[in-house]
Amino acid sequence: MDRMPGTLTTEQVLPGRGVARTFPIMSMKRAALIRAVMKNGVGVTQAAHLVDAFSGWFEMNYKGLPANMDAYVGRSERQKVYDLGYGKSFDGGNDWEFYAYMGLNLTIPHEAKTGDMIMEVIDQTYVFMTLIRPRVKLIGGPKMEAVFRVEGWERGGEITITDASECEDELEHWQTVRENFTTKILVNVSLAIRDAFEQIRRTRVAD
């Protein structure tokens, strides 16, 4: 954690019993995403820097990182979660997803679903985001959304982020690079978070 101070900041770490520490759901989601990025062969420090940048951007512009629990939880089940007092968000709008998974004792298979959020990193520089859509396979051509350009990330040190909104005249070039990439990192963000939910559920059952 000392090597990745931007990922779990001081205000996100709360004391627990003894040497234990507790973290908000937002931080758990970030940790799940770091693990998923590392499965692409990326080192932990580089993965943490990338996830810190991506999560920070997403949490500022949208709700918290989505687990896409809407694909599994119907209106009546969500009402049960609200009745338990988890209707309001603690991380930007979707803490309820975690409480639904735990409170309803769900067991969800490891599978991609329509509505899952995908993060794509092209040539260690250009970051895109999209959702899995009906009748479109995992990645759907021009449906990708440019997020930001990252510089210095491949070296594992401090990185520089430039939002896509500041590079509108360059986005056609970004798209060209995406279509003719040398390297690509592809992560199903929502599936990574659901997998983390399931690991926590299994740990609780075992205890």
Q: Give per-residue pLDDT as tens, 16-35.
A: 555 556 678 888 899 999 99
pLDDT at 137 over 90: no
pLDDT score, position 148 = 92
Residue 84 lies in a domain: yes
Residue 150 lies in a domain: yes
**Structural domain range at position 21:** 10-206
Neighbours of 146 (CB within 10 A): 20
Residues 6+ apart with CB under 8 A from 127: 50, 53, 54, 119, 120, 121, 146, 147, 148, 149, 150
Residue type, 72: Y
Residue 2 lies in a domain: no
Residue 72 lies in a domain: yes
Residue 3 lies in a domain: no
Q: Give per-residue pLDDT as tens, 69-97.
A: 988 888 777 777 777 766 554 444 688 88
pTM exceeding 0.75: yes
Residue 5 lies in a domain: no
Residue 4 lies in a domain: no
Residue 68 lies in a domain: yes
**Interval 140-160 mean pLDDT:** 73
Q: State the total domains in the chain.
A: 1
